[in-house]
């Protein structure tokens, strides 16, 4: 997943001049010389294009072996760990003094699938055109994998003394098969990746009209808990309508669910997010972000209506969301079916009590012939939000200021990532990502879209950002 996060539709963002950025004095790195970024760009592009050119929609092994070879050749011994032979994850470690607990930097090597007919350039060509690199995985998530790889190589080459181990993880199976990737690593190989902090996908820097406006750092994510509605009725001849018709009952239940928006509940991340977003948004839009924080339920509801209409991803951030996405029932036009079923995509707030929420859904459905139950699906655990008062968050915030000169917004993503499993183990995880044009998603170039692309200049800036954050957090003091 990549937080195609929060597309702020139509929310052109105001100038930053009035915003007090949280800044820290520049850090004097304890290295021989700063990296020569011009030289590094060529190397970055080579690794990035190579990774994109591996079709990792069903097996990650070629990409994993490539990463291992590059790390090994650079004097960083890497290991492959696999639950399924074709789907290994890669782990490598740079040793620190042990004064602090490790930092894990990661990117997943698998991608979602493609429909090649929809692509202007072949999806695994990594074609460079007009300042962009095109290909599946360019922003989900071979950008993070490349940036983490380059940071490892640079730390080694610059011989940076470290206060903590820096662990590289390129995991398989993030896109819907996390049991072979992060699930396996966390359940069976946790000591290999155990860390105080982790940096992964899930954030980005918003560019609007070609200018960077603010950085989103994912500190929390919703928890998927699919729910099924199964209507049971009496079967019969279609020429004799029955009151118990399962399709009619299910349709009524879905209509009631569709009209229901669960209560708004903010947490530290989303509260801070809307408050800060308001400071960098035009007044007419900022008003809605402020109103959503209002203690007055009427003011809040009006803002919620506006967000639901205009910025649905923001509306989803306010609550546990429900979207009915599958509806099945019936098999012949002249037969009344005895059963009809709908599947609801439910994304719970991290502190939601699933059993209580299921009861709420039953109340809304309000029909004894409609069974309401959890769908069986590969789950992700819920974990505590990453803290905003820790060294890692401060380092990310300071690096956003230094590299992008933008304000940092802590973000709760509505989708799920591999950070869920790590947060459940107590690792403080932060989702980061390169700058992408907010206009690109609606044009069909976003993560999981028909096409995918990243600006070359933003890939390089993201590598520098990674380097800044990691050295700030891990170098010896």
Binding residues (CB under 5 A) for Zn ion: these are 1-2, 140-141, 201
The residues, ordered by sequence, that sit 6+ positions from 161 with a Cβ below 8 Å of its Cβ are: 30, 96, 97, 475, 476
> Tokens for 277?
């977003």
- What is the closest distance, in whole angstroms, from the C-beta atom of residue 451 to Zn ion in the complex? 16
- What is the closest distance, in whole angstroms, from the C-beta atom of residue 19 to Zn ion in the complex? 30
Based on CB atoms, which residue is closest to Zn ion, 110 or 472? Answer: 110
Q: How far apart are CA 90 and CA 108, in angstroms?
A: 10
- What is the closest distance, in whole angstroms, from the C-beta atom of residue 43 to Zn ion in the complex? 24
Based on CB atoms, which residue is closest to Zn ion, 279 or 411? Answer: 411
Based on CB atoms, which residue is closest to Zn ion, 285 or 427? Answer: 427
> Tokens for 178?
């996390």
Based on CB atoms, which residue is closest to Zn ion, 2 or 59? Answer: 2
Based on CB atoms, which residue is closest to Zn ion, 1 or 11? Answer: 1
158-191 per-residue burial string, b: 16 or more CB within 10 A, e: under 16: bebebbbbbbbbbbbbbbebbebbbbbbbeeeee
- What is the closest distance, in whole angstroms, from the C-beta atom of residue 182 to Zn ion in the complex? 11
**How many Cβ atoms are within 10 Å of 99's Cβ, its own excluded?**
10
The residues, ordered by sequence, that sit 6+ positions from 349 with a Cβ below 8 Å of its Cβ are: 222, 223, 265, 267, 319, 320
Based on CB atoms, which residue is closest to Zn ion, 183 or 324? Answer: 183
Based on CB atoms, which residue is closest to Zn ion, 140 or 304? Answer: 140
Cα three-residue angle 272-276-280, rounded to 5 degrees: 165
Q: How far apart are CA 63 and CA 68, in angstroms?
A: 9
Helix axes 456-474, 142-158, angle to 10 degrees: 50
- What is the closest distance, in whole angstroms, from the C-beta atom of residue 108 to Zn ion in the complex? 6
Give pairs for 449-453: CB < 8 Å, separation 24+.
449/4, 450/115, 450/118, 450/119, 451/118, 451/119, 451/120, 451/123, 451/134, 452/123, 452/134, 452/135, 452/136, 452/137, 452/138, 452/139, 452/140, 453/132, 453/133, 453/134, 453/135, 453/138, 453/139
Based on CB atoms, which residue is closest to Zn ion, 141 or 291? Answer: 141
Question: Phi-psi region for residue 357, left (φ > 0), alpha (ψ -120 to 50) or beta?
Answer: alpha
Consecutive H or E run containing 339: strand 339-348
Cα torsion for 267, 273, 276, 278, to the nearest 10°? -100
- What is the closest distance, in whole angstroms, from the C-beta atom of residue 303 to Zn ion in the complex? 30
Based on CB atoms, which residue is closest to Zn ion, 14 or 112? Answer: 112
Based on CB atoms, which residue is closest to Zn ion, 13 or 416? Answer: 416
The residues, ordered by sequence, that sit 6+ positions from 262 with a Cβ below 8 Å of its Cβ are: 319, 320, 321, 322, 357, 360
- What is the closest distance, in whole angstroms, from the C-beta atom of residue 189 to Zn ion in the complex? 21
Based on CB atoms, which residue is closest to Zn ion, 111 or 471? Answer: 111
- What is the closest distance, in whole angstroms, from the C-beta atom of residue 185 to Zn ion in the complex? 16
- What is the closest distance, in whole angstroms, from the C-beta atom of residue 5 to Zn ion in the complex? 12
Q: How far apart are CA 79 and CA 71, in angstroms?
A: 10
Q: How far apart are CA 433 and CA 288, in angstroms?
A: 26
> Tokens for 284?
């007419």
Give the CA distances from residue 246 to residues 232, 367, 378, in Å, rounded to whole numbers and listed in that order: 5, 11, 28
- What is the closest distance, in whole angstroms, from the C-beta atom of residue 17 to Zn ion in the complex? 34
- What is the closest distance, in whole angstroms, from the C-beta atom of residue 248 to Zn ion in the complex? 40
């Amino acid at each position: 997943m990549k937080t195609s996060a929060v597309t702020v539709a139509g929310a052109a963002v105001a100038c930053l001049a009035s915003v007090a950025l949280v800044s820290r004095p520049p850090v004097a790195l304890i290295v021989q010389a700063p990296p020569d970024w011009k030289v590094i760009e060529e190397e970055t592009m080579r690794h990035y294009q190579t990774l994109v050119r591996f079709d990792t929609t069903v097996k990650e092994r070629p990409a994993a072996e490539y990463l291992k070879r590059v790390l090994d050749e650079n004097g960083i011994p890497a290991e492959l760990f696999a639950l399924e032979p074709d789907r290994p994850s890669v782990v490598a470690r740079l040793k620190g003094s042990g004064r602090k607990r490790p930092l894990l930097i990661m990117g997943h090597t698998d991608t979602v699938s493609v429909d090649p007919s929809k692509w202007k350039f072949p999806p695994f060509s990594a074609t460079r055109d007009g300042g962009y690199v095109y290909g599946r995985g360019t922003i989900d998530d071979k950008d993070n994998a490349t940036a983490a790889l380059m940071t490892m190589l640079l730390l080694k080459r610059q011989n940076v003394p470290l206060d903590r181990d820096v662990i590289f993880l390129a995991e398989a199976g993030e896109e819907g098969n996390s049991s072979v990737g992060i699930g396996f690593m966390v359940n069976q190989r946790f000591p290999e990746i155990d860390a105080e902090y982790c940096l992964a996908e899930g954030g980005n820097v918003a560019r609007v009209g070609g200018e960077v406006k603010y950085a989103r750092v994912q500190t929390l994510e919703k928890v998927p808990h699919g729910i099924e509605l199964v209507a049971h009725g009496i079967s019969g001849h279609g020429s004799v309508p029955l009151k118990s018709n399962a399709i009619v009952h299910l349709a009524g239940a879905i209509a009631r669910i569709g009209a229901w928006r669960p209560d708004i509940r903010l947490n530290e991340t989303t509260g801070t997010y809307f408050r800060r977003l308001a400071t960098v948004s035009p007044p007419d839009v900022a008003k809605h972000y402020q109103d959503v924080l209002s203690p007055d339920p009427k003011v809040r509801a009006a803002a919620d209506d506006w967000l639901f209409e205009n910025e649905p991803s923001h509306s989803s951030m306010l609550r546990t969301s429900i979207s009915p996405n599958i509806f099945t029932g019936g098999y012949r036009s002249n037969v009344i079916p005895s059963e009809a079923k709908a599947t609801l995509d439910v994304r719970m707030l991290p502190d939601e009590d699933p059993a209580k929420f299921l009861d709420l859904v039953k109340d809304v459905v309000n029909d004894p012939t409609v069974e309401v139950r959890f769908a069986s699906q590969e789950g992700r655990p819920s974990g505590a939000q990453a803290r905003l008062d820790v060294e890692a968050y401060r380092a990310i915030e300071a690096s956003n200021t230094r590299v992008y000169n933008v304000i940092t917004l802590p973000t709760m993503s509505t989708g799920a990532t591999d950070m869920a499993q790590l947060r459940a183990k107590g690792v403080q995880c932060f989702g980061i990502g390169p700058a992408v044009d907010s206009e690109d998603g609606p044009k069909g170039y976003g993560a999981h879209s028909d096409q995918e692309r990243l600006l070359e200049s933003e890939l390089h800036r993201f590598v520098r950002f990674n380097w800044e954050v990691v050295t700030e957090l891990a170098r010896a003091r």
